[in-house]
Amino acid sequence: MKKYNGMDDIPHRGKTVLVRVDVNSPMGKNNEILDDRRFKLHLPTLNELKDAKTVLIAHQSRAGKPDFTTMEAHAAHFTELLGREVLYVEDIFGSEARSKIGKMDDGDVLMLENVRFFAEETLTRTAQEHSRSHMVRKLAPLCDLFINDAFSVAHRAHLSVIGFTAVLPSIAGRLMEKEIEALDKALVDIKRPAVFVLGGVKAPDSIDVALNVLKSGAADYVIFTGILANIFLMASGIEIGDVNSDFIEKLGYRGEVDRAKEILKNFKDKILLPEDLAVLGADERRVEYPVNDLDPGLPIFDIGSGSIERFGEIIRSSATVVMNGPAGKFEEKEFAAGTEALLRAATSSKFSIIGGGHISAVVDELGLAEEISHISSGGGACLRYLAGESLPGIEALIK
């Protein structure tokens, strides 16, 4: 039973609805949207609000970044996708924004300015503290309902994520509900065997996930690839070479080796590590070595063909598979083999979840999106949810 209200629980027809979306996207030199996948994920929620007055709030990038810009292009792109005008308002909570909201009719949609233009947006505060901000005090009286549909920022205790929940009836949008329900199938309502495949470079977060799913019994096996595999190989006494151990040191992950030792000590039977690895050879080509016979001077860029075959079989025979992070340096074609093969294997599982970030882009490139049960919209939020952490955006909806 869900602990929060959703779009089926509170009527929204004829109401003024404030909706937090996340359409933070890659932008071109002329402020054009280069990737609109996040826009499309919000369409189910926004289409259901066709008889409401819909006010959108969102952010684009952050201060100091070249793509820290207005929401004008975002409003125009939503206009295109929704087939009805989304009016861009060059204001967040000033007189212009309040005037435009007050003149809305049912079916109207407007998008307010980048919420991160307001310095208090990114402060980490409680919902009650944020509710006393100028943004909430000015906008909340004009709205009947707050919808949080931005799972990908739910791990941040930012003003626009939690501030309105303290003063307005607040519900989860369709995307938020979909994310929570899908991830819960990997943590609570689990079909077995369940396999977690953790790679990429976010080692501390991924190790948190591993600890949570191993301690709770959610995972039958955890497969480590990428930097994580190197960390666990080091922890198991394998010499991976100075070039690779120095890279782990450079990332600030030396302490993760000790955590890996503890996990291996307590859950060794459930941990699967590569038996061979692909390195960048002297001639700049892919060369494979068994893990016990690595050339100490060559950087590890992928798992080897033996590991690809072994892991692939385990993933294909699983009922639930969760993959987060690539298996290697997938940007270089010669070293994309591990990531691509494991993703293809995941399509054979009864229920598959792909974490956000880079690995979801590979899913799109391979044309596998329709064969994956759930592709998360938020890398950081997804990892923290799987790690068993409380996400402020979700907790605020529950409260």
Interatomic CA distance for residues 228 and 218, integer angstroms: 20
Interatomic CA distance for residues 67 and 60, integer angstroms: 7
Residue 217, marked binder: no
Residue 310, marked binder: no
Residue 102, marked binder: no
Interatomic CA distance for residues 254 and 355, integer angstroms: 25
Residue 195, marked binder: no
Residue 38, marked binder: yes
The helix, strand and coil proportions of the chain, stated in percent and rounded to the nearest 5, come to: 45, 15, 40
Cβ pair 113, 90 in contact under 8 A: yes
Residue 156, marked binder: yes
Residue 24, marked binder: yes
Residue 137, marked binder: no
Burial, 201: exposed, middle or buried (Cβ in 10 Å; 0-12, 13-18, 19+)? middle
Q: Which amino acid is at 129?
A: E
Residue 384, marked binder: no
Residue 177, marked binder: no
Residue 125, marked binder: no
Strands 276-280 and 286-290: antiparallel
Tokens of 74: 């975002």
Residue 60, marked binder: yes
Cis peptide before 44, with omega less than 30 degrees from 0? Answer: no
Residue 259, marked binder: no
Q: In the beta sheet, which residues pair with residue 280?
A: 286
- How far, CA to CA in Å, does 377 sit from each of 118, 152, 165, 284, 380? 25, 6, 22, 35, 10
Q: How many CB atoms lie within 10 A of CB 399?
A: 13
Residue 316, marked binder: no
Q: In the beta sheet, which residues pair with residue 323?
A: 197, 354
Among 340, 322, 295, smallest CA distance to 382 is for: 322
Residue 62, marked binder: yes
Burial 254-276, CB ≥16 within 10 A → b, else e: eebbebbbebeeebeebbbbbeb
- Note the Cα 183 to chain centre separation in Å: 11
Helices of type H across 217-253? 226-235, 242-250
Among 382, 377, 319, 316, smallest CA distance to 343 is for: 316
Residue 26: CB partners within 8 Å, gap ≥ 6? 33, 34, 35, 67
Known binding-site residues equal 22-24, 38, 59-62, 116, 156, 331, 356-359
Known binding-site residues for (2R)-3-phosphoglycerate equal 38, 116, 156
Known binding-site residues for ATP equal 331, 356-359
Known binding-site residues for substrate equal 22-24, 38, 59-62, 116, 156
